[in-house]
Chain A
Amino acid sequence: MANTSFNRAIQTVYTMWLREMIRFSRSKSRIIGALATPLFFLIILGAGFSSSFQVRGGGSFDKGFLAPGLIGMSVLFASLMGGVSIIWDREFGFLKEILIAPVSRLFVSLGKAIGGVTTAMIQGILIMIIAWIIGVRYQSIWGVFLAIVIMFISGIGFIGLGIAIASKIESHEGFQMVMSFLTMPLVLLSGAFFPISNLPGWLKTLVYLNPLTYGVEALRWCLLGNSTIPISISIIVLVMFSIAMTALGGKLFGKMRV
């Protein structure tokens, strides 16, 4: 009996993951759009910054510096979107089909989360590869693997946040507002575009309260070998953030009414 319900749980998670994958593979324009934005930043800002600024205390400030930030940004966008897409499932009715099935909501949201984080990781990895092609060099192959793990952990966190938001806002009108009030500050305050070592006090506080900062810093450590925040602290914060958001998202999704 326990074995059967375990199989059903795995099957549920896999089914939800499979659906996300099929949908992702069908939305080619979405993938291209998702890659285009960070690439423009990378190429244009990278060229512009490196000709104008220098990081205090040495080190270069160019596309190499920006790459981890932009990977973090695209993981944020993709995973937040993956979680918030529950709003669309509700809007177009598919959510009812899932909620009426004899499966646990917890595993439904888990499958949705793993599906979303897979798409986020695919996008992050693609940007990592493209950045390498245009000349960004990573410190080691192990760093690259570790960066993928970091993408996974932070992706799970932001998906949990997305699911929590989607379970609370009850209309798709609220969606645009949340996305612009959430994503832009998160990205701008993350140190994706500037070094965080010499910030004024108020900005420093905001940056250090932002979970994405730790994702970007961890990626920078993995890929380039240097970071302002120690890697151990980044990983601890990210893991705690992910666990908290998964719990919150699962709880609110369980309570959600159609």
Chain B
Amino acid sequence: MQYAIETSAITKNFEEITAVNKISITVKPGELFGLLGPNGAGKTTLINMLSTMIEPSGGSALIWSHDVVKEADSVRQNIGVVFQDTTLDDRLTGRENLDLHGRLYGLDGKTRKDRIKEVLSLVELTERADAIVKTYSGGMMRRLEIARGLMHHPHVLFLDEPTLGLDPQTRLHIWDYIKLLNKEEGVTIMLTTHYMEEADKLCDRIAIIDHGEIVALDTPQALKNMLGGDVITLEVEKTGDIERLCSTYQKDGCANIVSKKQNEVFITVKNGEREIPHVLSLASGAGISITSVSLRKPTLDDVFIHYTGRAIRDKEVTEVEKVGYKMRSRRK
């Protein structure tokens, strides 16, 4: 076996909407792989297909060499899944939740007991293990779910937005656990997130996904390097000058245009500190007045904007979300 996860042209259509469009990726054993994209980009749909929750409309996927449709039970035995919304039984204690999980995955009594101890200490919940889950905080519940996902020694762990809705401090904690279990348990992890920082800090490789397609895939560093240097943000006085400014830089060849907003332009240059005077003199040579300048290292945000033409924070309701909403309301 070469890959932990291997998809070929996997596709999912909901009515006329294509939520996931012919995605082909490979993830090596032991990798921590991130799917980064805005809400409605198709990340959860992809994870749901890979974890056998829904069937693909086209293409195929292998998890640990098992086909997600034809060998769903083998796939299930080999994966752990932590969904976006909690799937714990909140009337049970943490330990009981883990124990039931172990039983469903066919672990015998002794194995369950030992493994519960291990996973509890991994997520530091040993002391609260016998409290009813209802009394847990959001962060504790997420940790318990991660522990539960690991109970049966899965080869691949799927984490769908593992830190969604958690406060910043708890988020940092969860990151530590994810890194730890990736290293100590050697488990291959695929996580989805729309937090740039999370993808950047955690993942070995990132696939940027938008409108159901992968627009870029590489290590976080390589993705940032691809932009070609430091990011300079220039604010112009007159909105109409933006296009003229961009073409001036393109002609000169000193900078790459990353993206534009109303009266701002983001460009990347090598050796930003040294290039600022040159960039500014080009602007004044063209008679464009610049009101502010800033310089920083590139982030994944810039990468994302570069590939998709918009910031990930922009809360737009995508077609897929609309369909999802309609489907939910129809049920009622």
User: Which residues of A line the B interface, CB within 8 A?
Assistant: 7-8, 11-12, 14-15, 18-19, 22-23, 26-27, 92-103, 170-171, 173-174, 258
Contacts and interface: CB of A to CB of B under 8 A. Distances in A.
Interface string B74-93: 10110001010111111110
Given A18-B100, A19-B92, A101-B101, 11 more contacts: A15-B100, A19-B89, A23-B91, A26-B91, A92-B86, A92-B89, A98-B104, A102-B74, A102-B77, A171-B331, A171-B332
A239 B103 CA distance: 31
A101 B74 CA distance: 10
User: What are the 7 A-B residue pairs with the smallest beta carbon separation, nearest first?
Assistant: A170-B331, A102-B76, A93-B87, A101-B104, A15-B103, A97-B87, A171-B332
Contacts of B106: 7-8, 11, 102
B332 to A, nearest CB: 4
Given A8-B106, A14-B103, A103-B104, A93 B88 contact: yes
Nearest to A172: B332
Interface of B: 51-53, 73-74, 76-77, 81, 83, 85-92, 96, 100-101, 103-106, 132, 148, 331-332
Interface of A is mostly: helix
B332 A173 contact: yes
A93 to B, nearest CB: 4
A93 B83 contact: yes
B294 to A, nearest CB: 44
A22 B87 CA distance: 17
A27 B134 CA distance: 14
Contacts of A103: 104
A12 B104 contact: yes
Contacts of B76: 100-102
A103 B52 CA distance: 13
B92 A23 contact: yes
Given A15-B100, A22-B92, A100-B76, A174 B332 contact: yes
A15 B87 contact: no
B89 A94 contact: yes
A14 B106 CA distance: 12
A8 B73 CA distance: 12
A29 to B, nearest CB: 13
24 contacts: A8-B106, A14-B103, A15-B104, A19-B92, A19-B100, A22-B91, A22-B92, A23-B91, A23-B92, A26-B91, A93-B88, A94-B87, A94-B88, A94-B89, A96-B83, A96-B87, A98-B104, A99-B53, A100-B51, A101-B76, A101-B105, A102-B76, A102-B106, A174-B332
Nearest to B73: A102
Contacts of A23: 89, 91-92
Nearest to A89: B89
A26 B90 CA distance: 12
A97 B101 contact: yes
Contacts of B73: 102
Contacts of A12: 104
Q: Which among B83, B100, B332 has the greatest number of chain A C-beta atoms within 10 A?
A: B100
A27 B86 CA distance: 22
Nearest to B108: A11
Contact of A100 (B52, B85, B90, B91): B52
Nearest to B92: A22
A167 to B, nearest CB: 12
Nearest to A12: B104
Contacts of B92: 19, 22-23
Given A22-B92, A92-B90, A94-B87, A11 B103 contact: yes
Contacts of B100: 15, 18-19
B81 A93 contact: no
A18 B101 CA distance: 12
A100 B77 CA distance: 9
B237 to A, nearest CB: 53
Contact of A170 (B83, B105, B332): B332
A23 B132 CA distance: 11
A98 B86 CA distance: 13
Contacts of B87: 93-97
A96 B148 CA distance: 13
A51 B148 CA distance: 60
A174 B86 CA distance: 23
A97 B102 CA distance: 12
Contacts of A258: 53
Q: Which among B74, B77, B103 has the greatest number of chain A C-beta atoms within 10 A?
A: B103
